[in-house]
């Protein structure tokens, strides 16, 4: 499903080139549950951004479902993000002025789904993550765990085959974090490919495959039994 | 993402910061209001002048002595005269210029009219009977200047209603003797009340025979000859005819000027058109300032919502979706501001003449459409840069933005 070969990423900071990724090759198959681990600055977030089609590699080839990503235009990347990939962020990234329900609907706005259908699709998803009572609350009126559940519902609204989670439990207490991980595990068992970026061992322990990165390179890649 | 959805998102953003949106709109409101108000006042003045002038008849020709090269406007009487126009010139025109219905010799000036112990400074016009027909001014009581009076330099006077009221009150003035610059004149008639035109009180005037007038003003020339054609289309041919006749009589020199009412009218139209454009331009500057206000606020808004832009992009918004969102926001601000500005501007343009007599206003659909299009254009023009800036945000940077 995901095939990275020899991906590099350089940033230019003033006169200095900074290499964030130096030759990452990786294959992730449909239905996998992967944790990408490593210290800050190891390049795991950059890798995540490239996999999530938010960023393009400086060199190397990235194939997503046989599509060569590096050749796509900005608009085509937007469409891939919209339909194929769900994002869950550490800071939730909900739109503060919108209700939970509206937030879940946002990706459908960009898929051109009419209003009524958007509502009909968003409501059951919020029920599924246990927020049927709080659909009309704004993010500020929800707890961190609840906000992250809204974000997960939003990530799932277009039934994407891939879910990317960047430190999804980083801003949550352990109980809420546990709930979020349970939801993610359940989704994975339903066939959604999930990649979590984390430096929390407990989170990584829930994943079947663990990839370790240091200095822009993969140094360890192993499957749990 | 369809238009309605984008519009809803933009409206939501506008409503979420009502005070700021209101103040931003105020710039456009004042700009559009100023454009409409000032252009209405300029147009009002133009329409007023045009109506007054064309009320005098566009088939009117005014022949003044002296050659000037300007094609309209007013000249002081007898300025730079080489050869005077004479009563005989007028008679010749009347006899030989068959395209003219009338050729009326005129002298005029101000003088003092006295009756018993009452006196008044007024305009004295020396003329012939045809003046009535040419200028559409008729007497109410008694008679007007007759050809016999002209031929005999008769010392008779016809009073304008104001002069009559001032000197005689309710008395019947007919047959009474008044003093015009110390010469004795007999009152033979009173004019019909006409009111004011172009600042000239038509009722504050007296008429005497042109020949008596020449004596009174101590001149053997005329100040002007007023001619008219039956139809407006004849004016150009009539000018040629007048020139032919007068040049021959004036030793083959064109030492006179023919102005047409139409030329004066079009000069006035041009002058007031320019005035209106200048007023509109000044007001347009304030609209431009309003537009800069919109751009300023939109730039702040883009910066404030960097994170929102990042989120929307991550969730699948294309650059043009973001662009549209901010464009529509700017255009809504300027559009709504424009509509409110039109309502206030039109309202003031309708109310002002009720309170200030000297400011006639004229609101045309054209003014409103132009002002609104201009404000919409301001929204587009000053919205493009911030919206473009928003659409080009890098989603990763934008998501990291605190």
**Locate tokens 């493009």: which residue?**
B384
Within 8 A of B400 by CB-CB distance, chain A residues are none
Distance CA(B291)–CA(B294), nearest Å, equals 5
pLDDT, one tens digit per residue, over B174-205 is 888 998 888 899 999 999 887 777 667 888 89
A75, B319: Cβ pair inside 8 Å? yes
Write down the pLDDT at residue A99: 92
pTM: 0.71
* Buried-state track B53-90, b at ≥16 Cβ within 10 A, e below 16: beebebbbbbbbbbeeeeebeebebbeebebbbbbebb
Write down the pLDDT at residue B71: 46
Write down the pLDDT at residue B95: 86
Sign of CA dihedral B334, B337, B343, B344: negative
- A22: closest CA of chain B, how far (Å): 20
Residue B112 backbone phi and psi in degrees, to 5: -100, 130
Within 8 A of A113 by CB-CB distance, chain B residues are none
Write down the pLDDT at residue B198: 66
Helix (H) or strand (E) holding B285: helix B261-304
* Structural contact between residues A9 and A55, judged by C-beta atoms closer than 8 angstroms: yes
Write down the pLDDT at residue A35: 94
**Locate tokens 């299009």: which residue?**
B373
Write down the pLDDT at residue B1: 54
Sequential pLDDT tens for chain A (225 residues): 899 999 999 988 888 888 999 999 999 999 999 999 998 889 898 999 999 999 889 999 999 988 898 889 989 999 999 999 999 999 999 998 889 999 999 999 999 898 899 999 999 999 999 998 999 999 999 999 999 999 999 999 999 999 999 999 988 999 999 999 999 999 999 999 999 999 888 889 889 999 999 999 999 998 876
Q: Which residues contact B355 (CB under 8 A, 6 or more apart)?
A: none
N- to C-terminal Cα separation, chain A? 22
Q: Coil, helix or strand for B207?
A: strand
* Buried-state track B253-290, b at ≥16 Cβ within 10 A, e below 16: eebbbbbbbbbbbbbbeeebeebbeebbeebbebbbeb
A89, B307: Cβ pair inside 8 Å? no
Write down the pLDDT at residue B80: 46
B308, A95: Cβ pair inside 8 Å? yes
Residue A34 backbone phi and psi in degrees, to 5: -115, 140
In this complex, the residue of A81, A112, A115 whose CB is nearest that of residue B315 is A81
Helix (H) or strand (E) holding B119: strand B118-127
A97, B12: Cβ pair inside 8 Å? yes
Q: Which residues contact A107 (CB under 8 A, 6 or more apart)?
A: A82, A154, A157, A158, B315, B316
Given the DSSP bridges, would you call strands B139-142 and B196-197 parallel, antiparallel or unpaired?
Answer: unpaired
B316, A95: Cβ pair inside 8 Å? no
A106, B315: Cβ pair inside 8 Å? yes
Write down the pLDDT at residue B74: 55
* Structural contact between residues A157 and A108, judged by C-beta atoms closer than 8 angstroms: yes
Question: Treating both helix axes as pointing N-terminal to C-terminal, what angle do A115-128 and A100-110 enclose, rounded to 10 degrees?
Answer: 130
Within 8 A of B319 by CB-CB distance, chain A residues are 74-75, 78
Write down the pLDDT at residue B106: 92
Radius of gyration of the CA atoms of chain A, in A = 17
Residues 158-197 of A with CB under 8 A from B: none
- A41: closest CA of chain B, how far (Å): 15
Within 8 A of B9 by CB-CB distance, chain A residues are 109
Write down the pLDDT at residue B81: 44
Distance CA(A165)–CA(A153), nearest Å, equals 13
Residues 47-76 of A with CB under 8 A from B: 49, 52, 54-55, 74-75
Within 10 A of B300 (CB to CB), how many other CB atoms are there?
14
Within 10 A of B179 (CB to CB), how many other CB atoms are there?
15
Distance CA(A182)–CA(A169), nearest Å, equals 11
> In chain B, which residues have pLDDT < 50?
70-72, 78-81
DSSP state of B192: P
* Buried-state track B184-208, b at ≥16 Cβ within 10 A, e below 16: ebebbbbbeebeeeeeebbbbbbbb
How many Cα atoms sit within 13 Å of A223 on the Cβ side? 6
């Amino acid at each position: 499903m995901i095939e990275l070969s020899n991906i590099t990423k350089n940033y230019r900071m003033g006169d200095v080139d900074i290499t964030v990724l130096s030759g990452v090759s990786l294959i992730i198959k449909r239905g996998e549950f992967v944790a990408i681990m490593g210290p800050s600055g190891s390049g795991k977030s950059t890798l995540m951004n490239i996999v999530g089609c938010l960023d393009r590699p400086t060199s190397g080839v990235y194939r997503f479902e046989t599509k060569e990503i590096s050749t796509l235009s900005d608009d085509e990347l937007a469409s891939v993000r919209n339909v194929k990939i769900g994002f869950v962020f550490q800071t939730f990234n909900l739109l503060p002025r919108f209700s939970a329900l509206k937030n879940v609907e946002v990706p459908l706005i960009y898929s051109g789904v009419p209003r009524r259908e958007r509502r009909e699709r968003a409501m059951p998803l919020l029920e599924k993550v246990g927020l049927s009572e709080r659909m009309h609350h704004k993010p500020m009126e929800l707890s961190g765990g609840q906000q992250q559940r809204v974000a997960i519902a939003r990530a799932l609204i277009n039934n994407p085959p891939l879910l990317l989670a960047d430190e999804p439990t980083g801003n949550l207490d352990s109980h809420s974090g546990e709930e979020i991980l349970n939801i993610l595990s359940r989704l994975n068992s339903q066939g959604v490919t999930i990649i979590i970026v984390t430096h929390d061992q407990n989170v990584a322990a829930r994943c079947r495959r663990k990839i370790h990165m240091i200095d822009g390179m993969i140094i360890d890649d192993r499957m749990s039994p | 993402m369809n238009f309605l959805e984008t519009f809803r998102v933009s409206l939501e953003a506008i409503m979420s910061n009502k005070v700021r949106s209101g103040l931003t709109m105020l710039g456009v409101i004042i700009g559009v209001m100023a454009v409409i108000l000032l252009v209405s006042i300029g147009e009002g003045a133009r329409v007023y002048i045009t109506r007054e002038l064309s009320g005098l008849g566009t088939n009117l020709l005014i022949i003044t002595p002296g050659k000037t090269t300007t094609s309209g406007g007013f000249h002081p009487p007898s300025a730079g005269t080489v050869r005077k126009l004479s009563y005989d010139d007028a008679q010749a025109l009347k006899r030989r210029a068959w395209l003219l219905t009338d050729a009326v010799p005129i002298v005029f000036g101000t003088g003092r009219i006295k009756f018993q112990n009452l006196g008044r400074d007024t305009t004295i016009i020396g003329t012939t009977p045809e003046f009535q027909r040419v200028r559409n001014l008729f007497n109410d009581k008694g008679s007007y200047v007759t050809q016999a009076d002209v031929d005999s330099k008769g010392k008779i006077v016809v009073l304008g209603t104001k002069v009559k009221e001032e000197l005689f009150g309710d008395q019947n003035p007919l047959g009474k003797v008044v003093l015009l610059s110390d010469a004795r004149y007999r009152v033979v008639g009173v004019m019909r009340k006409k009111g004011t035109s172009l600042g000239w009180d038509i009722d504050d005037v007296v008429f005497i025979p042109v020949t008596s007038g020449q004596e009174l003003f101590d001149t053997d020339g005329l100040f002007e000859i007023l001619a008219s054609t039956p139809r407006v289309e004849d004016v150009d041919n009539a000018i040629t005819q007048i020139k032919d006749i007068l040049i021959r009589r004036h030793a083959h020199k064109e030492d006179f000027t023919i102005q047409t009412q139409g030329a004066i009218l079009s000069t006035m139209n041009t002058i007031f058109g320019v005035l209106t454009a200048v007023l509109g331009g000044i007001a347009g500057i304030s609209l431009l300032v309003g537009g800069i206000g919109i751009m300023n606020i939109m730039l702040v808004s883009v910066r404030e919502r960097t994170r929102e832009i990042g989120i929307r992009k991550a969730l699948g918004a294309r650059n043009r979706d973001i662009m549209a969102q901010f464009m529509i926001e700017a255009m809504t601000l300027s559009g709504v501001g424009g509509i409110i500005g039109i309502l206030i501007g039109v309202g003031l343009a309708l109310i002002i003449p009720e309170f200030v007599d000297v400011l006639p206003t004229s609101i045309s659909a054209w003014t409103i459409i132009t002002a609104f299009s201009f404000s919409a254009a301001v929204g587009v023009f000053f919205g493009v840069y911030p919206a473009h800036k928003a659409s080009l945000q890098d989603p990763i940077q934008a998501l990291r933005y605190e």
